[in-house]
Amino acid sequence: MKTLRPIRLSFLACVIAVFAFACQPADPSRADTTADAQSDTPTLPDVVEITDDTENVLFSFGHGAQRGQASSVADVPEEFRSMVRATPLTHRQNRRISTQHILVYDLRQAGADGTYPGRVITRSEFESHLASARKKRQKQPIVESNSRGDDQNKTGISPVIMYSTSWCGYCRKARQFMERKKIAFIEKDIEKDTAAAQELAQKKSAAGQRGGGVPVFDIGGQLVQGFDKSALLRLAKGTP
């Protein structure tokens, strides 16, 4: 009988271990953590309906040294309309959108229902498209404009090109001013883009202007040196 005691004690220990580790109630906090992790998973952006009258959407176009923003379809320059990034300014609550995917639209031609085609693509695909389009534009000859009225877009506001540099404080102020006043513009960094620097030099030579300061604005074919709020707003709206 004495030799059986260790066996009984071992069996009893096994029974206690089974109940101790197998019969524990589920920890609700773990389930909540798992649910939170799943709900926090980034999701793809929704394709929203874009028409000529769409509001509360920020349109971004161009790439690198040539980039701009607009608050309406009409303010996006024709040369950049093949692929435009759209960022809805109203977001759904409790939802995190993937930063590796973006919403883009082809704003060249609306469909029969008045909407423009849109889709979700990866960020790398978007950057590749813009880089390719930029190279094509650089190969095109520069065409000087002689009339501000002919270059005005559908909103009656002349297209604005700002020649800038990354370190220019007045360029940054001008950019913020135009975004606040909803003036569509294209920004070209003359230090990063040699074609933009040559383009500006040709325009200055044609206009009889000198000096190498920035920013310089081309507003419907008229060059303006320096950041002057009233002059920029007046010329962009075509007011004499």
Specify whether the CB–CB gap between 158 and 178 falls below 8 A.
no
Confirm if 108 and 82 have CB atoms less than 8 A apart: yes
Residue labelled with tokens 């066996």: 7
Helix (H, G, I), strand (E, B) or coil at 57: strand
Are 97 and 43 in contact, with CB atoms under 8 Å apart? Answer: yes
Question: Which residues pair with residue 224 across a beta bridge?
Answer: 217
Beta sheet of 216-219, edge-to-edge order: 118-122, 101-105, 84-88, 57-63, 66-70, 185-189, 160-164, 216-219, 222-225
**pLDDT, tens digit, for every residue of 6-63?**
555 555 555 555 454 444 545 555 555 554 444 556 788 888 899 999 888 888 887 6
Query: CA–CA distance from 45 to each of 92, 108, 115 (Å)?
Result: 10, 22, 18
Cα(77)–Cα(88) distance, rounded to whole angstroms?
19
Q: Any idea where the domains of the chain sit in the sequence?
A: 41-140, 141-240
Global pTM value: 0.46
For 202-211, what is each residue's pLDDT tens digit?
Answer: 998 888 888 7
| Domain 141-240 homologous superfamily, CATH | Glutaredoxin (3.40.30.10)
- Residues listed for the chain: 240
Please compute, for residue 102, the number of CA atoms within 13 A of its CA located in the half-sphere on the CB side: 17
As a whole number of angstroms, the distance between CA 61 and CA 151 comes to: 19
Average pLDDT, the chain: 75
